[in-house]
Amino acid sequence: MTSLRRIFLLVQVMLKGGTGLEAGGFSSLGRKKKQKRKLPKLGSILLYLFFAAYMVFIAIMLAKGLAPNFIAMGLDKVYFELFLAIFAMMTVVFGFFATFSTLAFAKDQERLVTMPIKRGELLLARMCMIFLNQCLIPFLLGLPIFYTYAYYKGSAWTFYVKVALGMFLQTLLPVAILVILSLILIRVTPLAKNRDRFMVISQVVAIVVIMVFVFGGQSFNMEMDPQNFNTDKVPTGIYPVMSKMVPNLDFLRDFLMLEGTEAALAFLKFFAVAVVFVVLAYFVADKFYRLDSSSGVKKRKLEDGEMDRALRAKSTFSTLLGKELKQVMRNPTIFTNNVLGSLLMPVFLLVPLIYAAINEGGNFNLPAIRRVINNYFQNGPADELGYMVATVALAIAIMGHFFVSSSCLNSSAMSREGEELTRGMVLPLNYLRQLRIKSLVSYFLATVPFLIVMLVVGLIIYVPIKYLLFWLLIYGLTAHNANQIALIFDVSKPALDWENEIYAVKGNKRIFLNLVANWVIAAAYGLLIYFMYKSDRFTPGWTIGVAAVLLFATMICLHLILPRVLQRTLGQIERYL
């Protein structure tokens, strides 16, 4: 078998394990895998298509709002640089965690050692897998964003071909750079020897880098001068930074914007630079990457004081709570997918607000805003105030389902246990209670940051405390329902047979079902807002009453469904053991 054939088979196996189409669930626990029905696989494919269509729709709506204005003002170059920089940023920031985790903490390394494969073949297979995983989202977003631009611009058909080729290859160089960086860090630093240390350092670095990008993106809006609209000197925020981190980004921009021979030369330069870095990454990997076992990961011996604290008697609740917190905070995959976004949300929302208040002076007159809001709540028409309070409450309920469902730890509460699930099943503690404790951690991490933002903003602008507490209660209750929905879908068919946590956290149809269910409930609250303004029968008080019935009815149903689903699932698992 040729090396190319072995590399292709390795990539195929890795991708199958990560997509969720043929991995996870009970089919992989027993002997009846070959008898698996085709319908669940078809359903998974349809859910992936739905998610892809949703992303494409969002990208098209964004491009429709921006592309005509940029074209009219002659800012075509700015348009390309803005989105190319965003895609490069996504790859660099989020790709680093996936790359380092894949190379340093891969749990399938022990099995691969015994296979008749060479070091170079494994390296190229891992690099291909990282590239394919990282290029998917920029590809799905890039095509509609630039195709919408081409529609308004009236571009030739060759532009569409160039965009497809460019969006597919644009992550090639960032991935190669990330592989080189990760391998050097693994070899010359102790990061790969202690997973906990790696998480602490990487979390701090990630927060700093993301904040730099946030303020860099703000500079695009703050520094734009209308007098410069028709020049090439309009600042584009993060693009100058990203073009230095990704050396061929300028060539990609020129390839998309230019025509004929100039475009061809730009593409050759773009592809040549990427190939050089890929070859360099291969030689660095061939020198630094260890094939023996998880790239040198070692367990740290506990000191005497740590051993005493570990052996100290604790309550069942505190023990399980601490175990869950350590798992979600120290695991790179779980942390970046389910925790980091929630923890950074207060920073994203409050720091720019403070920054704008400090730097824009009269344009952000906080005392004047307070006076207007205070006067509205005290002297505004009662009917109008009622509509406003009800509208904000329902909008907060919609946000609760959207925000929590998109980054909810409960989407993998049972799945991320993997083979360790059997240990939890034999503990002298009802497994439903164990899930409740895990759900408490998920609820806290997904809800408290947003509640902090609401409370701080409400107190700053002097929202009456009774309305503020009412809105906080609405968000807390809807977030609880969103958490329970995610937990039920995960418990109904957990993905337990995996080699890397990413298979349990991402790319599984239960996650998409969770999103769809929460979106449906959010749409119901949206319909209540619509009817409140369109029908005389839907007064604010009556609308809030209907919303309360929907909220509490959903809560009761979820609490009744969860024990039944869990009992059925545990019974199925016991039959496979």
Band (pLDDT 50/70/90 cuts) for residue 136 is confident
Instruction: Write down the pLDDT at residue 292.
Output: 53
The residue to which tokens 């109008």 are assigned: 384
Choice among 76-80, 133-137, 212-216, 423-427 with the minimum mean pLDDT: 212-216
Spell 25-35 as b/e; 16+ CB within 10 A means b: bbbbbeeeeee
Q: What is the 3-state secondary structure (H, E, C) of 2-56?
A: CHHHHHHHHHHHHHHHHHCCCCCCHHHCCCCHHHCCHHHHHHHHHHHHHHHHHHH
Tens-digit pLDDT profile for residues 199-231: 556 655 666 665 555 555 444 443 444 444 444
Instruction: Write down the pLDDT at residue 227.
Output: 45
Tens-digit pLDDT profile for residues 311-355: 666 677 777 787 788 777 777 667 767 777 677 677 666 766 666
Highest mean pLDDT among 22-31, 120-129, 357-366, 538-547: 538-547
Spell 132-167 as b/e; 16+ CB within 10 A means b: bbbbebbbbbbbbbbbbbbeebebeeebeebbeebb
pLDDT at position 389 over 80: yes
pLDDT over 90, % of the chain: 10
How buried is residue 285: exposed, middle or buried, by Cβ count under 10 Å (0-12/13-18/19+)?
buried
Mean per-residue pLDDT, 45-72: 81
Higher pLDDT, 506 or 83: 83
Mean per-residue pLDDT, 376-380: 78
Cα–Cα dist 339/406, whole Å: 11
Instruction: Write down the pLDDT at residue 212.
Output: 59
pLDDT at position 557 over 90: yes
Cα–Cα dist 257/247, whole Å: 17
Choice among 8-22, 27-41, 96-110, 304-318 with the minimum mean pLDDT: 27-41
In the 8-state DSSP scheme, what is residue 115? S
Tens-digit pLDDT profile for residues 506-544: 656 777 788 889 989 999 999 999 888 888 778 888 999
Higher pLDDT, 184 or 189: 184
Instruction: Write down the pLDDT at residue 190.
Output: 61
In the 8-state DSSP scheme, what is residue 337? I
Do the Cβ atoms of 149 and 38 come closer than 8 Å? no
Mean per-residue pLDDT, 262-285: 88
Cα–Cα dist 293/192, whole Å: 12
Cα–Cα dist 577/214, whole Å: 49
Average pLDDT over the chain, rounded to an integer: 75
Band (pLDDT 50/70/90 cuts) for residue 293 is very low
pLDDT at position 294 over 70: no
Tokens representing residue 120 in the block: 């170079």
Mean per-residue pLDDT, 562-577: 82
pLDDT at position 372 over 60: yes
